[in-house]
Amino acid sequence: MSTDLTTLVLPDGELVTEPPVLAEYRLNPYTQETAAEGQPIAVVFATSVADVQTTLQFATTHHIPVVTQGARTSIANGAAGLDGSILLNLSRLNHIVALQPENQTAVVEAGVLNGDLDQAAREVGYFYAPDPGSKPISTIGGNIATNAGGMASLKYGTTRENVLGLKVVLADGRLLELGGATFKNNASYDLTDLFIGSEGTLGVVVEATVRLRPIPFGDTVTGLATFADVHALTHAVQVLQASGVNPSMLEVLNRVSIEALDEYEGIDLGGRGEQALLIFQLDVAVAGALDLVDDLLRKAGAQTIDVTSDPARTATIIKIRQDIFAAGAQYGRLIVEDIAVPLGQLAIVADRAEAIAAKHGQRLLLLGHAGDGNLHPDIILESKDGALPAETQAYIDELLPFVISIGGTVSAEHGIGTIKKKWVPQQLSPAVQTLQQQIKAVFDPTGILNPGRKF
Ligand SMILES: Cc1cc2nc3c(=O)[nH]c(=O)nc-3n(C[C@H](O)[C@H](O)[C@H](O)COP(=O)(O)OP(=O)(O)OC[C@H]3O[C@@H](n4cnc5c(N)ncnc54)[C@H](O)[C@@H]3O)c2cc1C
């Protein structure tokens, strides 16, 4: 039976039921692993908190599932349509409410793009640190819901460490104000933190108070160092981590990644057969730090080291790194994994990923935020769609249990969505899973918010 939407009263143009729009918005175009997307009944392009409340009250009354969407850049299919659902899209709730340099904070609506917030902050001498590769295209609300990471997480933390307060609408339409604008807050259980990374299953984030950082003093130094293999590179990462120079970026790219970027960008990172590339950055390069890094990297086996303080060249290097997913997908599609392990296990898991990929004949695009112990041991497939080949599935089925067995996680920063759901019972104990379900029931008793996602 079709749902009567006539009693869902919203401003003109916000409630859309045209099939082409539903067909577009039900997909998460960057999720390249085949996943079941359902048929939504409507998209609501909310432009106010009241619209979000109205939509959620309607959905609760009529028992309609709601999938909250930001920019739909999820790689875990977390914001894709479900059968009979309303897609609550917040991309038009996108105002920067206030920049407050005196507090080192900003207040933003959920649909503001990460890159837009960062740019606005820079105009007043600050920056917004969390920098997922999707920075120019993903929303702050989506970043909060997935606890997005990125290159700068190494020094400035993930989204979690940069959110101070939230406004959240619950399934029944209640508006909650959580946290505030203080850097410390022990007044109660930390519900702000609970919502960060909750993937649209507990409530809808409509506004956030986030932390801004002063732009670092002096020159930022960014460098490229090559190594004989990823194993050697991970050793260098540990040495740098222990040195106290406090790098703001330590990114790894394997030979396949280097080749993919060369082909995609028309550049020459790997023309001399470079096997592993470390991108490192010191955003506060105190006197002597660069010499120390150079010395440590050479002793750790760096074959070449190339550093720059030129802002344009730095921006080019960052852009190259941001393009890696597109570079991998140019051959067909990229099956993205998102693991993290304790730092001491980094070399072990990198070696194991290479061995398992070789065993199953998979083309391994290994990259990631090495300084965080967060790797993306991705597989390049030539087919653009369709079910995963058995060998690719075998690679995943062998790698992820190994990651869990050494104290790692199957989802470091992209979220569980639908893609990683089957691994949750292996990583979390039954008692913890039960508790998670009980917490969900407190906030969303009728279970309408992103049902079937996360666990
Ligand atoms: C090229 C590329 C590079 C990427 N690089 C990184 C990276 O380096 N690090 C990283 O962590 N991720 C990365 N991602 C993944 C993705 O961009 C992040 O997960 C991002 O945080 C999603 O934001 P979004 O606005 O697109 O949210 P969506 O994809 O629309 O939604 C993601 C999840 O959040 C929920 N959600 C969205 N908005 C809200 C809200 N306001 N309230 C409650 N729930 C909400 C959705 O229901 C869904 O579960 C990358 C993606 C791409 C395409």
The structure tokens listed for 235 are 């050793």
CA atoms within 13 A on the CB side of 278: 36
Classify 50 in phi/psi space as left (phi over 0), alpha (psi -120 to 50) or beta: alpha
| Domains in the chain: ranges and CATH | 15-89 (3.30.43.10), 96-214 (3.30.465.10), 221-405 (3.40.462.10)
CA distance 35 to 387: 9
User: Is the predicted pLDDT of residue 1 greater than 80, yes or no?
Assistant: no
70 within 8 A of 138, measured Cβ to Cβ: yes
User: Is the predicted pLDDT of residue 376 greater than 70, yes or no?
Assistant: yes
414 pocket-lining for ligand 1 (C-beta < 6 Å) = yes
CA of 425 to the centre of ligand 1 (A): 23
In the prediction, which pLDDT does 53 show?
A: 98
CA distance 40 to 22: 7
- 385-416 pLDDT, tens digit each: 889 999 999 999 999 999 999 999 999 999 99
CA atoms within 13 A on the CB side of 284: 10
User: Is the predicted pLDDT of residue 291 greater than 70, yes or no?
Assistant: yes
What is the percent of the chain with per-residue pLDDT over 90, rounded to a whole number? 92
Report CA torsion sign: 146, 149, 153, 154. Answer: positive
Averaged confidence pLDDT in the chain: 95
- 433-445 pLDDT, tens digit each: 999 999 999 999 9
CA distance 153 to 170: 29
250 within 8 A of 278, measured Cβ to Cβ: yes
| Alpha-carbon distances, residue 421 vs 36, 221, 281, 357 (angstroms) | 13, 40, 34, 22
At 109, the pLDDT band (50, 70, 90 cuts) reads very high
110 pocket-lining for ligand 1 (C-beta < 6 Å) = yes
- 10-25 pLDDT, tens digit each: 999 999 999 999 999 9
Nearest CA to ligand 1 atom 24: 142
ipTM of the complex: 0.99
In the prediction, which pLDDT does 34 show?
A: 67
CA distance 111 to 73: 13
281 pocket-lining for ligand 1 (C-beta < 6 Å) = no
- 314-328 pLDDT, tens digit each: 999 999 998 999 999
Nearest CA to ligand 1 atom 44: 200
In the prediction, which pLDDT does 130 show?
A: 98
| Kind of pairing between the strands at 15-16 and 249-254 | unpaired
CA of 127 to the centre of ligand 1 (A): 20
- Other C-beta atoms closer than 10 Å to the C-beta of 154 total 23
In the prediction, which pLDDT does 36 show?
A: 65
- Other C-beta atoms closer than 10 Å to the C-beta of 286 total 12
The structure tokens listed for 25 are 């918005």
- Other C-beta atoms closer than 10 Å to the C-beta of 343 total 16
31 pocket-lining for ligand 1 (C-beta < 6 Å) = no
280 within 8 A of 222, measured Cβ to Cβ: yes
Determine the residue of 43, 49, 51, 68 to mutate for testing ligand 1's pocket, defined as the one with the most ligand atoms within 8 A of the Cβ atom: 68
User: What are the φ and ψ backbone dihedral angles of 252, each rounded to 5 degrees?
Assistant: -110, 140
CA of 287 to the centre of ligand 1 (A): 38
At 454, the pLDDT band (50, 70, 90 cuts) reads confident
With a CB cutoff of 8 Å and minimum separation 6, the contacts of 337 are 375, 376, 377, 378, 379, 396, 399, 400
Tell me, what amino acid is at 171?
A: A
- 206-256 pLDDT, tens digit each: 999 999 999 999 889 999 999 999 999 999 999 999 999 999 999 999 999
At 145, the pLDDT band (50, 70, 90 cuts) reads very high
- 68-93 pLDDT, tens digit each: 999 999 999 999 999 999 999 999 99
